[in-house]
Amino acid sequence: MFESIPMAKPDAILGLTEAFKKDPNPSKINLSVGVYKDNTGNTPIFASVKKAEERLLAAEKSKSYLSIEGSKEYGDAVQALLFGKDHEILASKRAATAHTPGGTGGLRVAADFLKAHFPGATVWLSDPTWPNHPNVFQAAGLACKTYPYFDFATNTLTFDKLLEGLRAVPKGDVVLLHACCHNPTGVDPTAAQWKAIADVLAERGALPFFDFAYQGLAKGLSEDAAGVLELARPGVEMLIASSFSKNFGLYNERVGALTVVAGNSDPAEKAMSQIKSCIRANYSNPSFHGGAIVTTILNDPSLRAEWEGEVTAMRNRINGMRKTFVETLKAKGVGRDFSFIAGQTGMFSFSGLSPEQVERLKKEYGIYIVGNGRINVAGMTDSNVGVLCDAIAKVL
Ligand code: LMR
């Protein structure tokens, strides 16, 4: 049976790391997948995470199953991180959270839930978006369309066109929004723009679905929830997929969440009962370790303060590296204006390099970036930024 199966295309992001590992070039640099590196090129385990793990190891008495949706403490901690612990959504219990394997797991569980209950709904994705978004929704059998997001000529949000696009979304469709650190562009709406987006989606009766994978990497943990909070108006429904891969450095623990917000507690409970059915038919129930680390840190004042400091340090290093990158390009004689990169947020710089230039970086210099020109700034270090900028200068 399997002999007739053709080879699948490599993944647009993870496929590059596979190719990178096989590349014999001794000076190769991997700036494709969104993984943070410190200035020495390591992806460190947070000190707060290590301490939480030590506590967990000492206290653990059983490896019995978690419930289908994971622990209540985890769900409560995730909601408090999203909305703030005093938010009306928490008091009225109109949100319910399931612990999922990473943010991607949260997206896929939501996709299965949407397909089961709203099979005709289309999911609207920003143009451009994370290349795995359409894969996830289409794999669940949902149709995807795009709304304008980015002006490739000016490297800015194409806000009027974005609103125009959202005004055309039919009632009952789903609009996928990047809560912060838009992937791949690094360009987020301002507070006033979030308000306008919230107004249009409310008018249209479309369901907002936030992908929140970089909380804390743009401006700060609570600041980065500005879009979520603007849309979380009384009675408004939404979905949120959270990832703790980046802001806790827990990539390989696969820890994320799906939060459903309903008009009040009764539909939230019913929706979660259906989400649990989707989970049971998929991976049954989540793994313990990563979620327990997150819960331990968020609920312990001293670990939490340490973690917040580590997130701040990570954000500051990335922002500093953005400036260094722009300055080094200039110093290497690149005439094109890349100053916009310093104003983007999150891990990625959407460089505007063409697919041909990206290919040359890989083939001739062993430098791996995503085909759409996305460069992982969080993978740059003082020792590789010069080599990178030299190569960019050459391919330009
Ligand atoms: C990325 O965009 O590089 C990250 O979200 C990692 C991934 O799974 O693609």
Reported confidence tier of residue 298, pLDDT bands at 50, 70, 90: very high
Give the CATH number for residue 372: 3.90.1150.10
Per the structure, how many domains does the chain have? Answer: 2
Within-domain flag for 307: no
Reported confidence tier of residue 336, pLDDT bands at 50, 70, 90: very high
Choose among 100, 382, 127, 376: nearest CA to 260: 100
Question: Angle at CA 99, nearest 5°, toward 95 and 104?
Answer: 105
Choose among 374, 378, 369: nearest CA to 318: 378
Local structure of 146: helix, strand or coil: strand
Residue 337 falls in the annotated catalytic set: no
Whether residues 271 and 171 share a domain: the answer is yes
Pocket around ligand 1 at a 6 A CB cut-off: 13, 33-34, 130, 132, 183
Reported confidence tier of residue 390, pLDDT bands at 50, 70, 90: very high
Residue 307 falls in the annotated catalytic set: no
Residue 246 falls in the annotated catalytic set: yes
Last residue of a domain, one of 256, 272, 299: 299
Catalytic residue (one of 37, 246, 276, 362):
246
Residue 178 CA to ligand 1 centre (angstroms): 13
Give the CATH number for residue 253: 3.40.640.10
Q: Which residue has tokens 């200068």?
A: 393
Q: What is the mean pLDDT of residues 240-268?
A: 98
What pLDDT score was predicted for residue 334?
93
148 beta partners: 127
What pLDDT score was predicted for residue 300?
98
* Residues in the chain, total: 396
What pLDDT score was predicted for residue 277?
98
Position in ligand 1 atom list of the atom nearest CA 13? 9
Q: Which domain holds residue 340?
A: 11-44+317-395
Reported confidence tier of residue 302, pLDDT bands at 50, 70, 90: very high
Mean pLDDT of the chain: 97
Within-domain flag for 1: no
How far is CA 382 from its chain centroid? Answer: 25
Residue 264 CA to ligand 1 centre (angstroms): 33
**Roughly what angle, to the nearest 10 degrees, separates helices 289-299 and 301-331?**
100
| pLDDT tens column, 74-86 | 999 999 999 999 9
Whether residues 272 and 196 share a domain: the answer is yes
Q: Which residue has tokens 């100053």?
A: 339
Whether residues 269 and 203 share a domain: the answer is yes
Whether residues 202 and 86 share a domain: the answer is yes
What pLDDT score was predicted for residue 241?
99
Atom 4 of ligand 1, nearest CA residue: 34
Whether residues 32 and 70 share a domain: the answer is no
Reported confidence tier of residue 63, pLDDT bands at 50, 70, 90: very high
Q: CA 295, CA 292: separation in Å to the nearest integer?
A: 5
Q: How big is the chain by its Cα radius of gyration, in Å?
A: 21
What pLDDT score was predicted for residue 227?
98
